[in-house]
Homo-oligomer: A and B are copies of this chain.
Amino acid sequence: MNLYEHCVPQFKKMLGILDSWLALAAANAERRKFDPNVFVSARLAPDMFPLARQIGSACDTAKFTPARITGKDAPKHADNEHTLDELRARIKDVRAYLDTYRSQDLEGMETKVIAPPSLRGKSIVAKDYVIEMQIPNFYFHVCMVYAILRQNGVELGKTDFLGSLPVRDA
């Protein structure tokens, strides 16, 4: 198992799950007769990011992970989404970008030293970057989206968080 297998397919999966929540949120708003884009600026606390920025951060964390490790440029996003549809388009774009990576692209890079801009001049070993920064950051933002939607009455449950699991009959 290399770094790719640890995070890239799961980031892609979770972004797909995140996208399905936005579809549920839109349907929920329609049923309750309000503009679904009200969700876009919803926050858990006044000094926390709104939904749009939480989604943008989850997307950025996912796209930058393989990009920083391999030294490639990730696609840019302007953080200017105002609708659920625009946010869903960004998620789709990042999922497609993750699809451009193959397991072998990250082969043997566990101990590579990288200096992602967010560390402002400091460096970190790639495996620590993935395990201690990117995976926690990614789940943080995805979970804040879940929390915002739940608190605003969107009917999500734990199964919607995990998505389908590759289980088999024992």
Contacts and interface: CB of A to CB of B under 8 A. Distances in A.
A162 B57 CA distance: 15
A32 interface: no
Interface string A108-124: 00100101000101111
A110 B123 CA distance: 30
When all copies of this chain in the complex are counted, the total is 2
A135 B135 contact: yes
Interface residues of A, number: 46
Given A44-B147, A133-B162, A170 B6 contact: no
Nearest to A161: B140
A144 B6 CA distance: 23
Most chain B CB within a 10 A radius of its CB, from A143, A163, A167: A167
A127 interface: yes
B48 A150 contact: yes
A154 B146 CA distance: 20
B162 A124 contact: no
A156 to B, nearest CB: 10
A103 to B, nearest CB: 13
